[in-house]
Structure 1
Amino acid sequence: MTTLIATALIDSDGQPQFGHFASPVTDLMLHRFDYRTVMDKPASGLARYFHFKQFQFVSLCHADWQIGVAIADIRYAANSFCYFFNRNSQQLDEVSQLKPLSIGVSMSASPVSGTALFNGKQHIQLTPQGLNWQLKLSGSLLQGDINLTAAPGSMPLALCTPTGYNGWTYTQKHNALDVSGQLQYRNQALDLTCALAGYDFSAGYMRRETSWRWGSISALLPQGRFGLNLASGVNETGDNENCLWLNGSRQLLPAVRIKLNRQQPEQPWHYCSHDAAVDLYFSPQQCRRERLNFGFLASNFRQYCGTFTGSIRLQNGEKLQLDQVPGLAEDHFARW
């Protein structure tokens, strides 16, 4: 597989560069993009603005708890959420916020610099710093200032794929990152010593109606620090975003089918590749859900905290066995 080396996502001809990148792009260069209608005419300024979507997400994983923090800007509105899941009590505590027309919300224009900011009852600030990220939180639910740090030599997944007839999606993800700093849940200090983190920076001209299924792990295994990202339904035109990290080393994985029963959400999900290199079952424990339906805009979002059990075949032929390893799963429909 050829990997791209580029600092700008949109090239000098106004076209996105598709494929896996050896390292993150430093600038999307949106102003260069030659955005066209489906009839190949230049898109209007309003279309260029409102059709662009971006979201950033951070997960923090500990043996006793799970935290998810997100900011999403779909131009017509921006929303954010923070949740804290206690694995021992199986209780999920959350704050969700919505701002029409994204007023007062800013997003970082680069996946390696800038700041995403959402002010409200739960203040969120996400700052990419090269391969590392900083997260600041203030509010009644979560308060803190933490750093997410990649292991030396570890690289994120950085990928751009064609989306629909005239769009593209850039995603950058990195799991099993070290966590440092200080963090409180409802004014109670959390021990970050054994916590690991992952982040997701995604942006682009995505399908008007889209959906995806997803799975993610950042956990300590007997073999060391382990990260996993699996997705189905998005970023699959020619390439996919499936990969793992083991002690900082990244390995790409084949396409996966993700099977679940929405009418019986307590049943295990199955993540499986055609060659059985990936064969995992996810057992849901608790769910952060949100359903919004404004006709023109709609979102049916479910993110589950739970555990993964099964196996993944490494490049050297060894099978990595997972036994109730904490992680996340997601099922999402969006009309935006």
Structure 2
Amino acid sequence: MERLIQADGQPHYGIFKSAPKQVNYRDFDFRSPMGRRSGALAKWRRFHQFQYFGVISDELIGGCALANLSLVGIGFVYLFHPASGRLLQRQFKLPLGFGTVFSQTPDDGVCELIQGRNRLRLENCAATGEKRLLVELDDGLRIDARFSEREPAFQPMHICTPTAVNGWVYAQKVAGVRCRGQVRSALGNFDLAALNAFAHHDWSGGYMRPETHWNWACLSAQVGDVRVGLNLSCGVNETSFSENCFWLDGELLKVDGVRFQFDRDQPLHPWHIRSGDGQVELRFTGEGMHRERLNLGFLASNFKQIFGRFSGELRPLGRPVVPIDGIWGFVEDQYAKW
């Protein structure tokens, strides 16, 4: 698919085998809920885009995200050291996105935030299938991490769903891929390949609900002889189609709708995550959390990403059960108004 938005101004909807070469949102026939056509300013104001790169291992957990919310560019990065319980984290907010660059080509191009001597950079290369995270901060923290969707072969989730009365969301997700690279920080220096680290990746963009909420879960690990990845959500990307899935040795297996049960006031307490088709039965217990809160009235976010351990079972249809025993991963509780 060359472009996500068709000649009639409407997106391609569904789950795709490959990513569109361009998310050409400016060609979308964007209208008000009452059917009035919207101009270029409204298209710019309401289009939001995210990219996230996470790293999981027993010795080091990390995450970095960039977001283009039109009125503000946002970035964060954190590292968590399970053995010591130490957490390093930085957040950046740039009015009107000055100092940021966002590419609308999901499998190619660069998304970047620069503020002073701080750089967060996410590179996607169509020629090699490689995704790369580069972080350089003024306190000396440096992350250079990467993975390939081709070595070995991997089937990403590519999905586009309608949202509310006048929007859509395109997303592509990856989990359960080996990660390599280097980390230099106050927590120590790490070789990600030597840690047997895994990565996960999310590229999302579209006209999301003006006020929305979602939960999300992700894990990546080696379970016996099988590489396992998991991506589950509730509250977004669920109209007509769902992004819920897990991967076994890079093969994508779809999952029904999921229910997240947890105490919002105590997010480090156990979560229970179950799918309607019985393929997922998991318990998650948090070990640490990255949190951001922003309330400007017209723009608000209450974001909690918790890292911890999963236990339970994945029950792929017609296949042996995959036991999940103390595997590191993430859950998320997000409210957004934009």
TM-score tier by shorter-chain length is over 0.9
- Could you say which residue in structure 1 is the equivalent of 2:284? 282
- Could you say which residue in structure 2 is the equivalent of 1:260? 262
- Could you say which residue in structure 1 is the equivalent of 2:202? 200
- Could you say which residue in structure 1 is the equivalent of 2:122? 126
- Could you say which residue in structure 2 is the equivalent of 1:146? 145
Task: Confirm or deny: 8 A CA contact 2:223 2:323 kept in the other structure.
Answer: no
- Superimposed CA distance per residue, residues 145-167 of structure 1 (whole angstroms, 9 cap, x where no aligned partner): 33211233312100000011010
Report sequence identity in percent.
36
Deviates more, 1:136-145 or 1:169-178: 136-145
Deviation, structure 1 residue 267: 1.9
1:163 pairs with 2:163: yes
1:111 pairs with 2:110: no
- Could you say which residue in structure 2 is the equivalent of 1:3? none
- Could you say which residue in structure 1 is the equivalent of 2:294? 292
For 1:232 and 1:12, the matched residues in 2 are separated by 31
- Superimposed CA distance per residue, residues 60-111 of structure 1 (whole angstroms, 9 cap, x where no aligned partner): 1111110000001101101110000111112211011111111111111110
Q: 1:51 aligns with which of 22, 46, 55?
A: 46
For 2:67 and 2:140, the matched residues in 1 are separated by 19
- Could you say which residue in structure 1 is the equivalent of 2:87? 92
| Letter paired with 1:153 | A
- Could you say which residue in structure 2 is the equivalent of 1:273? 275
Structure 2 unaligned residues grouped into runs of 5+: none
For 2:281 and 2:140, the matched residues in 1 are separated by 36
What is the DSSP-based 3-state SS (H/G/I as helix, E as strand, rest coil) of the residue aligned with 1:49?
Answer: helix
Deviates more, 1:191-200 or 1:48-57: 191-200
For 1:126 and 1:182, the matched residues in 2 are separated by 15
| Letter paired with 2:167 | G
For 2:140 and 2:21, the matched residues in 1 are separated by 33
What is the DSSP-based 3-state SS (H/G/I as helix, E as strand, rest coil) of the residue aligned with 1:275?
Answer: coil
Deviates more, 1:142-151 or 1:10-19: 142-151
Deviates more, 1:294-303 or 1:139-148: 139-148
Structure 1 unaligned residues grouped into runs of 5+: 1-5
Alpha-carbon RMSD: 1.4
Deviation, structure 1 residue 37: 1.2
For 2:212 and 2:285, the matched residues in 1 are separated by 25
- Superimposed CA distance per residue, residues 182-226 of structure 1 (whole angstroms, 9 cap, x where no aligned partner): 321238421212111011000000010011000001112213221
Q: 1:112/1:217 Cα in 2 relative to 1: closer, same or farther (>3 Å)?
A: same
TM-score of the aligned structures, taking structure 2 as reference length? 0.95
For 2:89 and 2:164, the matched residues in 1 are separated by 34
| Letter paired with 2:85 | Q
